[in-house]
Structure 1
Amino acid sequence: MGGGREVTYDIDGLTMVGYMSRPAGGGPWPAVLLGHDGVGLDDYQRGRADDLAEHGYLTFAMDYHGGRTFFGEPQAMLDRLLPLMADPARMLTIGQAALDVLLAEPGADHHQIATLGYGGGGRIVLELARTGVPFKALAVIHPGLPTPRAEDWTNACGTFLLCTGSEDPICTPAHISTFSNALQEAGVDWRAHIYGGAKHAFWAAPTRPDGTPTGGADHLSPTVPGVGYHAAHSARAWRAVLDLFGERIGLPSPAC
Protein backbone atom coordinates (compact mmCIF):
# COMPACT_ATOMS: atom_id res chain seq x y z
CA MET A 1 0.00 0.00 0.00
CA GLY A 2 1.10 3.56 -0.64
CA GLY A 3 0.51 4.71 2.95
CA GLY A 4 -1.37 7.53 4.64
CA ARG A 5 -0.56 11.06 5.74
CA GLU A 6 -2.18 13.94 7.60
CA VAL A 7 -3.61 16.78 5.53
CA THR A 8 -4.50 20.09 7.12
CA TYR A 9 -7.07 22.51 5.71
CA ASP A 10 -9.08 25.43 7.09
CA ILE A 11 -12.88 25.49 7.32
CA ASP A 12 -15.56 26.33 9.92
CA GLY A 13 -13.12 28.59 11.75
CA LEU A 14 -10.82 25.65 12.49
CA THR A 15 -7.73 23.99 11.08
CA MET A 16 -8.88 20.50 10.24
CA VAL A 17 -6.50 17.54 10.34
CA GLY A 18 -7.70 14.94 7.85
CA TYR A 19 -6.06 11.73 6.72
CA MET A 20 -5.27 10.80 3.11
CA SER A 21 -4.51 7.19 2.23
CA ARG A 22 -3.27 6.35 -1.26
CA PRO A 23 -3.20 2.97 -2.98
CA ALA A 24 0.12 1.58 -4.17
CA GLY A 25 1.17 2.19 -7.75
CA GLY A 26 -0.11 4.78 -10.16
CA GLY A 27 -3.60 6.19 -10.52
CA PRO A 28 -6.11 7.21 -11.42
CA TRP A 29 -8.03 5.61 -8.55
CA PRO A 30 -11.67 5.76 -7.49
CA ALA A 31 -11.94 8.38 -4.75
CA VAL A 32 -13.71 7.82 -1.41
CA LEU A 33 -14.62 10.51 1.11
CA LEU A 34 -14.90 9.22 4.69
CA GLY A 35 -16.69 11.06 7.50
CA HIS A 36 -15.90 10.16 11.13
CA ASP A 37 -18.47 9.83 13.90
CA GLY A 38 -19.12 12.41 16.59
CA VAL A 39 -16.18 11.42 18.79
CA GLY A 40 -13.68 12.50 16.13
CA LEU A 41 -11.23 11.15 13.58
CA ASP A 42 -9.62 8.23 15.39
CA ASP A 43 -7.39 5.27 14.63
CA TYR A 44 -10.35 3.10 13.64
CA GLN A 45 -11.41 5.43 10.84
CA ARG A 46 -7.83 6.01 9.74
CA GLY A 47 -7.58 2.23 9.57
CA ARG A 48 -10.72 2.11 7.43
CA ALA A 49 -9.11 4.61 5.07
CA ASP A 50 -6.00 2.44 4.87
CA ASP A 51 -8.11 -0.65 4.25
CA LEU A 52 -9.96 1.10 1.43
CA ALA A 53 -6.61 2.13 -0.05
CA GLU A 54 -5.53 -1.52 0.03
CA HIS A 55 -8.63 -2.26 -2.04
CA GLY A 56 -7.60 0.34 -4.61
CA TYR A 57 -9.55 3.40 -3.44
CA LEU A 58 -7.88 6.74 -2.86
CA THR A 59 -9.46 7.71 0.48
CA PHE A 60 -9.63 10.95 2.41
CA ALA A 61 -10.93 10.82 5.98
CA MET A 62 -12.24 14.29 6.71
CA ASP A 63 -12.03 16.06 10.05
CA TYR A 64 -14.81 18.28 11.39
CA HIS A 65 -13.55 18.86 14.95
CA GLY A 66 -10.32 20.73 14.24
CA GLY A 67 -8.04 17.82 15.05
CA ARG A 68 -9.74 17.08 18.36
CA THR A 69 -11.31 13.86 19.62
CA PHE A 70 -13.80 13.61 22.48
CA PHE A 71 -13.08 10.20 24.04
CA GLY A 72 -14.67 10.12 27.47
CA GLU A 73 -16.14 13.63 27.02
CA PRO A 74 -19.72 13.07 25.85
CA GLN A 75 -21.00 16.50 26.88
CA ALA A 76 -18.16 18.34 25.15
CA MET A 77 -18.80 16.24 22.06
CA LEU A 78 -22.51 17.10 22.09
CA ASP A 79 -21.73 20.79 22.61
CA ARG A 80 -19.72 20.73 19.38
CA LEU A 81 -21.87 18.27 17.45
CA LEU A 82 -25.47 19.27 18.07
CA PRO A 83 -25.23 22.86 16.75
CA LEU A 84 -23.43 21.52 13.68
CA MET A 85 -26.06 18.85 13.02
CA ALA A 86 -28.76 21.54 13.24
CA ASP A 87 -27.17 23.61 10.46
CA PRO A 88 -27.35 21.91 7.02
CA ALA A 89 -25.58 24.78 5.24
CA ARG A 90 -22.66 24.57 7.66
CA MET A 91 -22.43 20.79 7.25
CA LEU A 92 -22.47 21.18 3.49
CA THR A 93 -19.64 23.73 3.64
CA ILE A 94 -17.55 21.40 5.81
CA GLY A 95 -18.25 18.41 3.58
CA GLN A 96 -17.54 20.31 0.37
CA ALA A 97 -14.18 21.51 1.70
CA ALA A 98 -13.18 17.92 2.46
CA LEU A 99 -14.40 16.73 -0.93
CA ASP A 100 -12.32 19.46 -2.57
CA VAL A 101 -9.23 18.18 -0.73
CA LEU A 102 -9.91 14.65 -1.94
CA LEU A 103 -10.46 15.63 -5.56
CA ALA A 104 -7.37 17.86 -5.59
CA GLU A 105 -5.19 14.87 -4.70
CA PRO A 106 -3.12 13.68 -7.70
CA GLY A 107 -4.56 10.42 -8.98
CA ALA A 108 -8.15 11.05 -7.89
CA ASP A 109 -10.65 9.90 -10.51
CA HIS A 110 -13.31 12.61 -10.55
CA HIS A 111 -15.71 10.29 -12.39
CA GLN A 112 -15.55 7.52 -9.77
CA ILE A 113 -16.48 8.94 -6.36
CA ALA A 114 -17.96 7.18 -3.34
CA THR A 115 -18.45 8.06 0.30
CA LEU A 116 -18.71 6.45 3.73
CA GLY A 117 -19.92 8.17 6.88
CA TYR A 118 -20.28 7.20 10.54
CA GLY A 119 -22.69 9.02 12.87
CA GLY A 120 -22.36 12.77 12.35
CA GLY A 121 -20.03 12.14 9.43
CA GLY A 122 -22.84 10.19 7.84
CA ARG A 123 -25.07 13.23 8.08
CA ILE A 124 -22.42 15.42 6.46
CA VAL A 125 -21.98 13.11 3.47
CA LEU A 126 -25.77 12.85 3.14
CA GLU A 127 -25.90 16.65 2.84
CA LEU A 128 -23.41 16.41 -0.04
CA ALA A 129 -25.47 13.69 -1.70
CA ARG A 130 -28.65 15.71 -1.38
CA THR A 131 -27.13 18.49 -3.53
CA GLY A 132 -26.35 16.05 -6.35
CA VAL A 133 -22.67 15.25 -5.81
CA PRO A 134 -22.28 12.34 -8.24
CA PHE A 135 -21.42 9.59 -5.78
CA LYS A 136 -21.45 6.11 -7.30
CA ALA A 137 -22.13 4.70 -3.85
CA LEU A 138 -22.92 6.10 -0.40
CA ALA A 139 -22.66 4.03 2.79
CA VAL A 140 -23.67 5.41 6.18
CA ILE A 141 -23.32 3.61 9.52
CA HIS A 142 -25.76 4.73 12.27
CA PRO A 143 -25.95 8.16 10.60
CA GLY A 144 -27.53 11.33 11.80
CA LEU A 145 -30.58 11.48 9.57
CA PRO A 146 -32.29 14.60 8.20
CA THR A 147 -36.02 15.21 8.06
CA PRO A 148 -37.29 12.52 5.64
CA ARG A 149 -38.76 14.49 2.73
CA ALA A 150 -38.72 12.89 -0.69
CA GLU A 151 -38.42 16.24 -2.46
CA ASP A 152 -34.98 16.74 -0.86
CA TRP A 153 -33.53 13.66 -2.59
CA THR A 154 -34.57 14.02 -6.22
CA ASN A 155 -31.03 15.15 -7.14
CA ALA A 156 -29.29 12.30 -5.30
CA CYS A 157 -27.11 9.93 -7.32
CA GLY A 158 -25.77 6.44 -6.82
CA THR A 159 -26.75 3.60 -4.51
CA PHE A 160 -27.30 4.16 -0.79
CA LEU A 161 -26.47 1.68 2.00
CA LEU A 162 -28.02 2.49 5.38
CA CYS A 163 -26.81 0.53 8.42
CA THR A 164 -27.71 0.58 12.10
CA GLY A 165 -28.17 -1.70 15.08
CA SER A 166 -31.51 -3.00 16.29
CA GLU A 167 -30.77 -1.56 19.77
CA ASP A 168 -29.43 1.82 18.66
CA PRO A 169 -31.47 4.52 20.46
CA ILE A 170 -30.01 7.37 18.37
CA CYS A 171 -30.37 5.99 14.84
CA THR A 172 -33.18 3.50 15.33
CA PRO A 173 -34.44 0.98 12.77
CA ALA A 174 -37.64 3.05 12.65
CA HIS A 175 -35.59 6.12 11.66
CA ILE A 176 -33.92 4.11 8.90
CA SER A 177 -37.29 2.84 7.67
CA THR A 178 -38.86 6.30 7.54
CA PHE A 179 -35.85 7.79 5.78
CA SER A 180 -35.67 4.95 3.26
CA ASN A 181 -39.35 5.52 2.45
CA ALA A 182 -38.46 9.08 1.43
CA LEU A 183 -35.58 7.77 -0.70
CA GLN A 184 -37.91 5.27 -2.32
CA GLU A 185 -40.40 7.99 -3.18
CA ALA A 186 -37.60 10.08 -4.67
CA GLY A 187 -36.46 7.21 -6.87
CA VAL A 188 -33.15 6.61 -5.08
CA ASP A 189 -31.57 3.15 -5.26
CA TRP A 190 -31.17 2.07 -1.61
CA ARG A 191 -30.67 -0.87 0.70
CA ALA A 192 -30.68 -1.15 4.50
CA HIS A 193 -28.99 -3.46 7.00
CA ILE A 194 -30.27 -3.78 10.56
CA TYR A 195 -27.86 -5.67 12.81
CA GLY A 196 -29.65 -7.65 15.51
CA GLY A 197 -28.59 -6.83 19.06
CA ALA A 198 -26.16 -4.08 17.99
CA LYS A 199 -26.09 -0.73 19.77
CA HIS A 200 -24.85 2.69 18.65
CA ALA A 201 -21.22 2.80 17.42
CA PHE A 202 -21.15 -1.01 17.41
CA TRP A 203 -17.89 -0.96 15.45
CA ALA A 204 -15.93 0.90 18.19
CA ALA A 205 -14.00 -1.63 20.28
CA PRO A 206 -13.54 -0.38 23.88
CA THR A 207 -9.99 0.47 24.85
CA ARG A 208 -8.11 1.28 28.03
CA PRO A 209 -6.49 4.71 28.46
CA ASP A 210 -3.26 3.32 26.98
CA GLY A 211 -5.10 2.34 23.81
CA THR A 212 -5.10 -1.41 24.38
CA PRO A 213 -8.43 -3.22 23.91
CA THR A 214 -10.40 -4.17 26.99
CA GLY A 215 -11.59 -7.39 25.37
CA GLY A 216 -15.19 -6.67 26.32
CA ALA A 217 -18.21 -4.97 24.81
CA ASP A 218 -18.70 -2.20 27.35
CA HIS A 219 -16.84 1.10 27.31
CA LEU A 220 -14.96 2.08 30.45
CA SER A 221 -14.95 5.81 29.62
CA PRO A 222 -18.16 7.88 29.71
CA THR A 223 -20.21 7.77 26.51
CA VAL A 224 -23.62 8.88 25.33
CA PRO A 225 -26.32 6.31 26.23
CA GLY A 226 -26.80 3.27 24.04
CA VAL A 227 -23.20 2.71 22.88
CA GLY A 228 -21.80 -0.81 22.76
CA TYR A 229 -19.39 -2.93 20.75
CA HIS A 230 -20.42 -5.90 18.63
CA ALA A 231 -17.46 -7.59 16.94
CA ALA A 232 -19.43 -9.81 14.55
CA HIS A 233 -21.64 -6.99 13.29
CA SER A 234 -18.67 -4.65 12.97
CA ALA A 235 -17.10 -7.10 10.53
CA ARG A 236 -20.41 -7.65 8.72
CA ALA A 237 -20.98 -3.93 8.22
CA TRP A 238 -17.48 -3.50 6.82
CA ARG A 239 -18.03 -6.33 4.35
CA ALA A 240 -21.29 -4.66 3.31
CA VAL A 241 -19.44 -1.41 2.58
CA LEU A 242 -16.80 -3.19 0.51
CA ASP A 243 -19.50 -5.13 -1.34
CA LEU A 244 -21.35 -1.93 -2.20
CA PHE A 245 -18.24 -0.17 -3.47
CA GLY A 246 -17.13 -3.24 -5.41
CA GLU A 247 -20.55 -3.49 -7.02
CA ARG A 248 -21.05 0.16 -7.95
CA ILE A 249 -17.62 1.63 -8.72
CA GLY A 250 -17.14 1.68 -12.46
CA LEU A 251 -20.84 1.43 -13.30
CA PRO A 252 -23.26 4.22 -14.24
CA SER A 253 -24.88 5.80 -11.19
CA PRO A 254 -28.64 5.42 -10.77
CA ALA A 255 -30.51 8.70 -11.25
CA CYS A 256 -27.46 10.47 -12.76
Structure 2
Amino acid sequence: MTTITTRTVTYPADGLTMVSHLALPAGVGRRPAVLVGPEGPGLNDFQRQRADALAELGYVALAFDINGGRWFSDPQEMLAYINPLLANIDRMRDIGHAALDVLRAEPRTDPEQIAAIGYGTGGAIALELGRAGVDLRVIGTINALTTGRPGEASRIACPVWAGVGSEDPIMPAAQRDAFAAEMQAAGVDWRLMVYGGALHAFHHPSVEHEVLPGVGHHPQHAARAWRDVVDLLAECLPVGEAVD
Protein backbone atom coordinates (compact mmCIF):
# COMPACT_ATOMS: atom_id res chain seq x y z
CA MET A 1 0.00 0.00 0.00
CA THR A 2 1.24 3.48 -0.84
CA THR A 3 2.54 5.41 2.16
CA ILE A 4 0.47 8.50 2.86
CA THR A 5 0.61 11.12 5.58
CA THR A 6 -2.32 12.74 7.31
CA ARG A 7 -2.88 15.62 9.66
CA THR A 8 -5.66 17.64 11.22
CA VAL A 9 -6.01 21.23 10.03
CA THR A 10 -8.04 23.91 11.77
CA TYR A 11 -9.24 27.22 10.35
CA PRO A 12 -12.10 29.70 10.82
CA ALA A 13 -15.31 29.53 8.77
CA ASP A 14 -18.97 30.31 9.39
CA GLY A 15 -18.10 31.74 12.82
CA LEU A 16 -16.67 28.38 13.88
CA THR A 17 -13.31 26.66 14.10
CA MET A 18 -13.38 23.95 11.47
CA VAL A 19 -11.49 20.74 12.17
CA SER A 20 -10.67 19.10 8.85
CA HIS A 21 -8.60 16.12 7.73
CA LEU A 22 -5.80 16.48 5.18
CA ALA A 23 -4.32 13.41 3.46
CA LEU A 24 -1.15 13.65 1.37
CA PRO A 25 0.16 11.11 -1.12
CA ALA A 26 3.68 9.75 -1.08
CA GLY A 27 6.38 11.91 -2.65
CA VAL A 28 7.16 15.60 -2.59
CA GLY A 29 5.80 17.01 -5.85
CA ARG A 30 2.54 18.83 -6.42
CA ARG A 31 -0.48 16.68 -7.20
CA PRO A 32 -4.11 17.15 -8.22
CA ALA A 33 -6.32 17.75 -5.21
CA VAL A 34 -9.83 16.89 -4.10
CA LEU A 35 -12.18 18.52 -1.61
CA VAL A 36 -14.32 15.92 0.17
CA GLY A 37 -17.48 17.30 1.79
CA PRO A 38 -19.41 15.41 4.49
CA GLU A 39 -23.12 14.91 5.01
CA GLY A 40 -25.14 16.87 7.55
CA PRO A 41 -24.12 15.10 10.79
CA GLY A 42 -20.54 16.21 10.23
CA LEU A 43 -17.08 14.93 9.46
CA ASN A 44 -16.33 11.44 10.72
CA ASP A 45 -14.03 8.52 9.95
CA PHE A 46 -15.97 7.61 6.81
CA GLN A 47 -14.97 10.82 5.01
CA ARG A 48 -11.50 10.77 6.54
CA GLN A 49 -11.01 7.29 5.11
CA ARG A 50 -12.27 8.50 1.74
CA ALA A 51 -9.63 11.23 1.79
CA ASP A 52 -7.00 8.65 2.74
CA ALA A 53 -8.10 6.40 -0.13
CA LEU A 54 -7.77 9.29 -2.56
CA ALA A 55 -4.28 10.04 -1.23
CA GLU A 56 -3.35 6.42 -1.86
CA LEU A 57 -4.40 7.00 -5.47
CA GLY A 58 -2.07 10.00 -5.68
CA TYR A 59 -4.36 12.94 -4.83
CA VAL A 60 -4.02 15.55 -2.13
CA ALA A 61 -7.36 15.30 -0.33
CA LEU A 62 -9.06 17.48 2.26
CA ALA A 63 -12.10 16.04 4.04
CA PHE A 64 -13.55 19.30 5.28
CA ASP A 65 -15.60 20.11 8.34
CA ILE A 66 -18.97 21.89 8.17
CA ASN A 67 -20.06 21.86 11.83
CA GLY A 68 -17.11 23.20 13.81
CA GLY A 69 -15.84 19.80 14.87
CA ARG A 70 -19.27 18.54 15.95
CA TRP A 71 -20.88 15.24 15.03
CA PHE A 72 -24.65 15.26 15.40
CA SER A 73 -25.81 11.88 16.66
CA ASP A 74 -29.36 13.15 17.20
CA PRO A 75 -31.06 13.43 13.78
CA GLN A 76 -33.45 16.16 14.90
CA GLU A 77 -30.63 18.25 16.33
CA MET A 78 -28.74 17.79 13.07
CA LEU A 79 -31.71 18.91 10.98
CA ALA A 80 -32.23 21.97 13.17
CA TYR A 81 -28.64 22.98 12.45
CA ILE A 82 -28.30 21.89 8.83
CA ASN A 83 -31.59 23.06 7.32
CA PRO A 84 -30.82 26.76 7.89
CA LEU A 85 -27.37 26.19 6.40
CA LEU A 86 -28.82 24.57 3.28
CA ALA A 87 -31.20 27.51 2.96
CA ASN A 88 -28.33 30.02 3.04
CA ILE A 89 -26.28 29.83 -0.15
CA ASP A 90 -23.78 32.45 1.02
CA ARG A 91 -23.00 30.48 4.19
CA MET A 92 -22.47 27.31 2.19
CA ARG A 93 -20.15 29.11 -0.19
CA ASP A 94 -18.18 30.65 2.68
CA ILE A 95 -17.62 27.21 4.19
CA GLY A 96 -16.57 25.84 0.81
CA HIS A 97 -14.26 28.74 0.02
CA ALA A 98 -12.55 28.46 3.41
CA ALA A 99 -11.84 24.76 2.82
CA LEU A 100 -10.71 25.49 -0.73
CA ASP A 101 -8.28 28.14 0.54
CA VAL A 102 -6.74 25.60 2.92
CA LEU A 103 -6.39 23.04 0.15
CA ARG A 104 -4.86 25.56 -2.25
CA ALA A 105 -2.39 26.72 0.40
CA GLU A 106 -1.03 23.18 0.87
CA PRO A 107 2.37 23.08 -0.93
CA ARG A 108 1.64 19.62 -2.34
CA THR A 109 -1.51 20.87 -4.13
CA ASP A 110 -1.48 21.80 -7.79
CA PRO A 111 -3.81 24.81 -7.45
CA GLU A 112 -4.98 24.54 -11.06
CA GLN A 113 -6.05 20.91 -10.68
CA ILE A 114 -8.77 20.70 -8.03
CA ALA A 115 -12.02 18.74 -7.87
CA ALA A 116 -14.84 18.89 -5.34
CA ILE A 117 -16.88 15.89 -4.27
CA GLY A 118 -19.37 15.69 -1.47
CA TYR A 119 -22.12 13.77 0.27
CA GLY A 120 -25.42 15.41 1.20
CA THR A 121 -24.69 18.86 2.62
CA GLY A 122 -21.06 18.59 1.54
CA GLY A 123 -22.23 17.86 -1.99
CA ALA A 124 -24.50 20.91 -1.91
CA ILE A 125 -21.47 22.99 -0.91
CA ALA A 126 -19.45 21.53 -3.79
CA LEU A 127 -22.22 22.51 -6.22
CA GLU A 128 -22.35 26.03 -4.80
CA LEU A 129 -18.63 26.44 -5.37
CA GLY A 130 -19.30 25.65 -9.01
CA ARG A 131 -22.22 28.07 -9.18
CA ALA A 132 -19.96 30.71 -7.62
CA GLY A 133 -17.61 30.33 -10.57
CA VAL A 134 -14.76 28.54 -8.81
CA ASP A 135 -12.27 26.97 -11.22
CA LEU A 136 -12.76 23.25 -10.65
CA ARG A 137 -11.97 20.27 -12.87
CA VAL A 138 -15.05 18.28 -11.86
CA ILE A 139 -17.83 18.25 -9.26
CA GLY A 140 -19.21 14.97 -7.96
CA THR A 141 -22.05 14.62 -5.46
CA ILE A 142 -23.98 11.82 -3.81
CA ASN A 143 -27.40 12.54 -2.27
CA ALA A 144 -27.10 16.22 -3.21
CA LEU A 145 -29.31 17.39 -6.06
CA THR A 146 -29.79 20.90 -4.75
CA THR A 147 -30.66 23.66 -7.18
CA GLY A 148 -29.24 27.16 -6.91
CA ARG A 149 -30.12 30.74 -7.64
CA PRO A 150 -31.63 31.31 -11.08
CA GLY A 151 -28.99 31.51 -13.79
CA GLU A 152 -25.97 30.86 -11.60
CA ALA A 153 -25.44 27.30 -12.81
CA SER A 154 -24.14 28.86 -16.03
CA ARG A 155 -20.97 29.68 -14.07
CA ILE A 156 -20.19 25.98 -13.68
CA ALA A 157 -17.30 25.42 -16.07
CA CYS A 158 -16.59 21.75 -15.38
CA PRO A 159 -18.40 18.42 -15.65
CA VAL A 160 -20.92 17.60 -12.92
CA TRP A 161 -21.75 14.06 -11.83
CA ALA A 162 -24.49 13.28 -9.33
CA GLY A 163 -25.53 10.00 -7.75
CA VAL A 164 -28.78 9.37 -5.88
CA GLY A 165 -30.91 6.48 -4.69
CA SER A 166 -34.13 5.82 -6.56
CA GLU A 167 -36.03 5.55 -3.27
CA ASP A 168 -34.53 8.64 -1.64
CA PRO A 169 -37.49 10.69 -0.33
CA ILE A 170 -35.23 13.64 0.48
CA MET A 171 -34.11 13.83 -3.15
CA PRO A 172 -37.26 12.52 -4.89
CA ALA A 173 -37.97 12.32 -8.61
CA ALA A 174 -39.23 15.91 -8.72
CA GLN A 175 -35.94 17.13 -7.26
CA ARG A 176 -34.00 14.99 -9.71
CA ASP A 177 -35.96 16.56 -12.54
CA ALA A 178 -35.38 20.10 -11.24
CA PHE A 179 -31.64 19.48 -10.91
CA ALA A 180 -31.44 18.00 -14.40
CA ALA A 181 -33.40 20.93 -15.86
CA GLU A 182 -31.09 23.45 -14.17
CA MET A 183 -27.95 21.73 -15.42
CA GLN A 184 -29.33 21.30 -18.93
CA ALA A 185 -30.52 24.90 -19.22
CA ALA A 186 -27.09 26.12 -18.12
CA GLY A 187 -25.29 24.04 -20.72
CA VAL A 188 -23.38 22.05 -18.10
CA ASP A 189 -21.73 18.74 -18.98
CA TRP A 190 -23.79 16.77 -16.46
CA ARG A 191 -24.57 13.17 -15.58
CA LEU A 192 -27.04 11.69 -13.13
CA MET A 193 -26.73 8.13 -11.82
CA VAL A 194 -29.80 6.68 -10.11
CA TYR A 195 -29.05 3.64 -7.93
CA GLY A 196 -32.10 1.39 -7.97
CA GLY A 197 -33.68 0.63 -4.60
CA ALA A 198 -31.31 2.83 -2.60
CA LEU A 199 -32.43 5.26 0.11
CA HIS A 200 -30.87 8.51 1.28
CA ALA A 201 -27.33 8.16 2.68
CA PHE A 202 -27.11 4.73 1.07
CA HIS A 203 -23.35 5.22 0.75
CA HIS A 204 -22.65 5.46 4.49
CA PRO A 205 -21.74 2.17 6.23
CA SER A 206 -22.70 3.41 9.69
CA VAL A 207 -26.33 3.83 8.59
CA GLU A 208 -27.24 0.19 9.11
CA HIS A 209 -30.78 0.97 10.18
CA GLU A 210 -33.25 3.73 9.52
CA VAL A 211 -32.30 6.74 11.64
CA LEU A 212 -34.73 8.99 9.78
CA PRO A 213 -37.50 7.99 7.39
CA GLY A 214 -35.97 7.15 4.03
CA VAL A 215 -32.38 6.84 5.28
CA GLY A 216 -30.50 3.55 5.03
CA HIS A 217 -27.32 1.84 3.87
CA HIS A 218 -27.13 -0.14 0.63
CA PRO A 219 -23.77 -2.00 0.61
CA GLN A 220 -23.75 -2.95 -3.07
CA HIS A 221 -24.63 0.51 -4.32
CA ALA A 222 -22.28 2.12 -1.80
CA ALA A 223 -19.38 0.23 -3.34
CA ARG A 224 -20.57 0.99 -6.85
CA ALA A 225 -20.96 4.70 -6.12
CA TRP A 226 -17.41 4.91 -4.78
CA ARG A 227 -16.07 3.18 -7.88
CA ASP A 228 -18.06 5.64 -9.99
CA VAL A 229 -16.50 8.58 -8.12
CA VAL A 230 -12.98 7.16 -8.54
CA ASP A 231 -13.63 6.62 -12.25
CA LEU A 232 -14.96 10.17 -12.53
CA LEU A 233 -11.77 11.56 -11.03
CA ALA A 234 -9.62 9.35 -13.26
CA GLU A 235 -11.45 10.77 -16.29
CA CYS A 236 -11.58 14.44 -15.32
CA LEU A 237 -8.62 14.83 -12.95
CA PRO A 238 -6.03 12.17 -13.80
CA VAL A 239 -3.14 11.93 -11.36
CA GLY A 240 -0.37 11.78 -13.96
CA GLU A 241 3.16 12.63 -12.91
CA ALA A 242 4.04 14.76 -9.90
CA VAL A 243 4.81 18.43 -10.59
CA ASP A 244 7.87 19.64 -8.68
Per-residue Cα deviation, 1:131-172 (whole angstroms, up to 9, x for no partner): 1111111100001502474x2211111111111001101112
Count residues with an aligned counterpart.
237
| Unmatched 5+ stretches in structure 1 | 208-216, 252-256
- Which residue identity does 1:6 align to in structure 2? T
Q: Look up the match of 2:242.
A: none
Question: Given residue 232 of structure 1, which amino acid in structure 2 is its aligned partner?
Answer: Q
SS of 2:26's partner is coil
Matched residues in 2 for 1:244 and 1:206: separation? 24
How far did residue 26 of structure 1 move? 1.8
Contact 1:84 1:90 in 2 (8 A): yes
SS in 2 for 1:135: coil
**Residues 184/42 of structure 1: CA separation in 2 closer, same or farther (3 Å cut):** same
Aligned-residue CA RMSD (Å): 1.6
Residue 119 in 1 paired to residue 120 in 2?
yes
Shift of 1:27: 2.0
Deviation above 3 Å: which 4+ runs of structure 1?
A: none
What CA deviation, in whole Å up to 9, does each residue of 1:3-59 have, x standing for no partner?
221111111111110000001112210011111000110111101000111111100
* SS of residue in 2 equivalent to 1:200: coil
Cα-to-partner distance string for 1:161-210 (whole Å, 9 max, x where unaligned)? 11100110111243123212211111100111100010010011237xxx
Partner residue, 1:26: 28
Instruction: State the TM-score, normalizing by the size of structure 2.
Output: 0.93
Unaligned runs of 5+ in 2: 240-244
Equivalent residue, structure 1, for 2:44: 42
Q: In structure 2, what is the Cα distance between the partners aligned to 1:31 and 1:247? A: 14
- The reply to whether residue 75 of structure 1 matches residue 76 of structure 2 is yes
The answer as to 2:233 corresponding to 1:245 is yes
Conservation of the 8 A alpha-carbon contact between 1:148 and 1:179: no
What amino acid is aligned across from residue 121 of structure 2 in structure 1? G
| Identical columns (%) | 48
Does 1:58 find its partner at 2:60? yes
Q: Distance in 1 between matches of 2:118 and 2:80?
A: 20
Aligned to 1:211: none
Residue 93 of structure 2 corresponds to 92
Say if 1:116 and 1:125, in contact at 8 Å, map to a contact too.
Answer: yes
**Contact between 1:84 and 1:91, CA under 8 Å: does it hold in 2?**
yes
